A and B are shown apart, each in its own frame.
Chain A
């Protein structure tokens, strides 16, 4: 017999959950509200929660400053570029380990995972010097390379766990029917792998978009993505709360939407398949 949820129990847990959810979400809500206020109202004590002069002027101001679009474009290029390149390298690797495993496949996978455990700060010095010598500091190429390498182990791992779930029988059936490796890849594997590929792409876009160690250390202006642009508001003279909030809202909105779509894959991707 299934347990019957009593009305009272549902009511209590619903109220509790909504309260907790609201509290956790509140800083984001408060930021969005502040972005719709004037600078004076954003600063005002007592704060106004809903009854203020609603305005979009901060968004216009932030948008008018051409550098906002510049940094947003940088974010898109860096996150998109590093994710796509990582996928191009990872797809063949994960495919090969999932479908032609050898005795050493497990060791290779664990070794790849272990490279992700290296703290970035442990190699900050040589990377900074190498980037300086190759003229890669504050360049999009430099950031794409470093984020691609940093996320490559996660991409390979995620793809591997997805590919492993594709039933082998189908492949064997295709082979019996005389399909070549190329045909097998195009007609059998690709359609079955698309959901896994999409989730991997999504999660890595999010990770790369929000990455704030390498971007803060290796870029200043030209290649600076939104993480660095927002950090420029930390200086005391730049304390315009309403504009900071508007810029922040624009910076997190696209990724928040993507993130909400990918929350299930998030668990799997970030725990390397240990929790599904």
Chain B
């Protein structure tokens, strides 16, 4: 039984973390809200007056916002779809009896540990360069015209790079889930004469529903703020073709120095992320009961 003394001790041990996280959560967010109501430009000496919701009106009606919102949704949606559609067969394959499975696993997981600036630059130059890149050489081997990735399909190029980085994560989680699937259940289905496809649809897939949800939610949180990959490859261009919300806010804040509008955009990003977080916290919370 916990005595008063241990309760006090427990609270004392917990408080530094709680206080720090509270400050970390409240102070910047409060400042963001405050700045978002000001006309505030670092290049404009005359700034600081209260403008109400003007920044939001400006940010939300800016054509760049709609373009970047669309880019963000396409980027997040495509990477989610690709990592899961490729991750499921890959995890199923790695769950089979494979000679040297641990080595294959290492190769599959490796991209996840590559820092974003490295993977973006290696893909952009060594692989996707329209003249000297490996893809261009392969295209020419087959008599095709090489794609100028970052001019003709810049967003798709970013999607490919980010997918490569996140496919290991999806695969690893799905594989971990598959390995906890009860082998006897599958055997029983096989004894009853179930075909491989129906075993997959009626036993494996329902078992994967939860890990797939977890993959979707966690990837979404990270993918909503993809930044470094865009920063080192396209700088948001050509035009606005690869500007996502994170990059738009960055460029308004640190390139145009429009603090007010960038803050309004930051709040929009927080709201979008919160919608996702709401569902993730519920799922993880359910797990805490067990």
Q: How many Å lie between the Cα of A255 and that of B254 in the bound state?
A: 30
Contact string against B for A residues 7-32, beta-carbon threshold 8 Å, 1 for contact and 0 otherwise: 00110011011101110110110110
Q: Is the interface of A mostly helix, strand, loop or mixed?
A: helix
Report whether B18 and A149 are in contact in the complex, using a CB–CB cutoff of 8 Å: no
- B41 to chain A: closest CB distance in Å? 12
Report whether B96 and A17 are in contact in the complex, using a CB–CB cutoff of 8 Å: yes
Report whether A251 and B93 are in contact in the complex, using a CB–CB cutoff of 8 Å: no
CB neighbours of A153 from chain B (8 A): 21
CB neighbours of B266 from chain A (8 A): 119, 121-125
Number of interface residues of B (CB under 8 A): 108
Residue of A nearest to B94 (CB): A17
Report whether B98 and A14 are in contact in the complex, using a CB–CB cutoff of 8 Å: yes
Within 8 A of A (CB), among B258-285: 259, 262-263, 266-267, 269-270, 272-274, 276-277, 280-281, 283-285
CB neighbours of A251 from chain B (8 A): 115, 118
Residue from B99, B109, B118 having most chain A Cβ neighbours under 10 A: B118
Q: Which of A28, A109, A119, A210 contacts B288 (CB 8 A)?
A: A109
Report whether A271 and B121 are in contact in the complex, using a CB–CB cutoff of 8 Å: no
Q: Which of A149, A227, A263 contacts B116 (CB 8 A)?
A: A227
CB neighbours of A162 from chain B (8 A): none
Report whether B16 and A273 are in contact in the complex, using a CB–CB cutoff of 8 Å: no
Report whether A43 and B25 are in contact in the complex, using a CB–CB cutoff of 8 Å: no
Of A51-59, A193-201, A228-236, the one touching chain B: A228-236
Q: Which of A24, A216, A264, A270 contacts B111 (CB 8 A)?
A: A24
Interface presence of A170 (CB below 8 A) = no
Q: Which of A24, A119, A267 contacts B107 (CB 8 A)?
A: A24
Q: Which of B107, B173, B285 contacts A271 (CB 8 A)?
A: B173
The 7 closest A-B pairs by CB, nearest first: A126-B31, A117-B277, A259-B113, A92-B13, A212-B228, A100-B10, A93-B17
